[in-house]
Amino acid sequence: GAGVSQSPSNKVTEKGKDVELRCDPISGHTALYWYRQRLGQGLEFLIYFQGNSAPDKSGLPSDRFSAERTGESVSTLTIQRTQQEDSAVYLCASSLSFRGQETQYFGPGTRLLVL
Amino acid sequence: AQSVTQLGSHVSVSEGALVLLRCNYSSSVPPYLFWYVQYPNQGLQLLLKYTSAATLVKGINGFEAEFKKSETSFHLTKPSAHMSDAAEYFCAVSVGTGNQFYFGTGTSLTVIP
């Protein structure tokens, strides 16, 4: 398809386990973002990748969170030793470039539930 | 510091009535402004954006928004609500490169038949 895809769509895990979330951006989009959306709240910026530059990790809430991106393609967000407060929808978005006026295209999200 | 405030986390309107969703921003530099919509069980999609051209911006599905610098506002309007407009609406501001992107907390729109 032509849109941003994310997998899995839903993930239930036990407290203390590690989880890996995947994002496939739109082909040709150099910028990729991860956000967290807690129930009833807005989008919380986590991390941003722009091409081959060093990612902006300023939004990651703790060192349990990390993300990687292979070139300008797939990205994975890893949460180690999950906690119940990590339960949220994790959204990925991509845009053509890093310029501020670019439209971000969002995936459907991964709904994470930590028991 | 930049921020976005959406007044009213829940808004209800009757079908056919005016839709007005409020967004105010704070920014030390000229911003780019966006409205995104999230339909139930779907991802966010762009409704419209302001990028320093015309201050009145028209988007999809009959929505429009006006950038008012003096009021630091970017309210979203639609003259006549339709049942299919029921969704979550997010205002966002960008003030530079990709990492300077901030979303409001969202407004849930309910349309009453």
Q: What is the pLDDT of residues A70-105, one digit of tens each?
A: 888 899 999 999 999 999 999 999 999 877 788 899
For chain B, say whether A102 makes contact (Cβ under 8 Å). Answer: yes
- Kindly determine whether residue A103 and residue B49, on different chains, have CB atoms separated by under 8 Å: yes
Average pLDDT value for residue range A26-37: 93
List the single residue in B46, B94, B103 with the smallest CB-CB distance to A42.
Answer: B103
For chain B, say whether A55 makes contact (Cβ under 8 Å). Answer: no
pLDDT of residue B96: 67
Best of A37, A104, A110 to disrupt the B interface (most B CBs within 10 Å) is A104
For chain A, say whether B102 makes contact (Cβ under 8 Å). Answer: yes
Q: What does the angle CA B70 – CA B65 – CA B80 come to, to the nearest 5 degrees?
A: 135
Q: In the structure encoding, which two tokens stand for residue B47, read together?
A: 């409704």
Average pLDDT value for residue range B62-83: 95
Percent of chain B with pLDDT over 70: 94
Set of chain B residues whose Cβ sits within 8 Å of the Cβ of A35: 103
pLDDT of residue B99: 61
pLDDT of residue B3: 84
- Kindly determine whether residue B46 and residue A93, on different chains, have CB atoms separated by under 8 Å: no
- Kindly determine whether residue A35 and residue B103, on different chains, have CB atoms separated by under 8 Å: yes
Q: Is the pLDDT of residue B94 over 80?
A: yes
Q: Is the pLDDT of residue B62 over 70?
A: yes
Average pLDDT value for residue range B8-23: 96
A106 confidence band (pLDDT: 50, 70, 90):
very high
Q: Is the pLDDT of residue A1 over 60?
A: no
CB B49 within 8 A of CB B64: no
Percent of chain A with pLDDT over 70: 99
Distance CA A52, CA B14 (A): 49
Average pLDDT value for residue range B61-83: 95
- Kindly determine whether residue B32 and residue A101, on different chains, have CB atoms separated by under 8 Å: yes
Cβ neighbours, 10 Å, residue B105:
14
